[in-house]
Amino acid sequence: MHRYGRKLERFYTHSPYVAEFWNTLSNLPFVIIGVLRLWEGADSLRYGLYTLAGLASAFHHASSQAWTIVVDWIPIATSLAFSWQAFFAMTPVTAFLLLLALSTLAADHIWTPTPVPWGHVMWHLLAAIAVDRLYQDYVPTGV
């Protein structure tokens, strides 16, 4: 199957309720890490959006409807808008992890060197780790 130019996991093969099972499940780290960071008292705006991004992406991948990509990208775009300063405070390790995550996403969308759905699953896992590190690297001034 294809959706917006990328090969997809076959729909509803593992559950009659979840279109892309592995891509849906791979958003769990965003929710788990986000909730744990919120419980620790981390920046509630950033980690609230981080958790919401995982839930929205899971919703998108659980659905077979193409319009849900908008739901997927709203918390991501909002998070980027509120977190642009963090990119100037990241460590080299965080920069490497972000580049690795973005390279994995690009490879998955452009030529799919990894069998579907594992490239996109890896993107979700790497993005969850990289963005968490980015947020941990950044301490807003005045705090």
- Cβ pair 107, 119 in contact under 8 A: yes
Going by pLDDT thresholds of 50, 70 and 90, the confidence category of residue 140 is: confident
Domain ranges of the chain: 2-137
pLDDT of residue 10: 93
Q: What phi, psi does 104 have (nearest 5°)?
A: -65, -45
pLDDT of residue 137: 95
pLDDT of residue 143: 52
Give the side-chain half-sphere CA count within 13 A for 121.
Answer: 14
Average pLDDT along the chain: 93
pLDDT of residue 139: 81
What average pLDDT does the segment 97-120 reach? 95
**Token pair 């977190």 is at which residue?**
83
What average pLDDT does the segment 52-71 reach? 97
Question: Is 114 strand, coil or helix?
Answer: coil
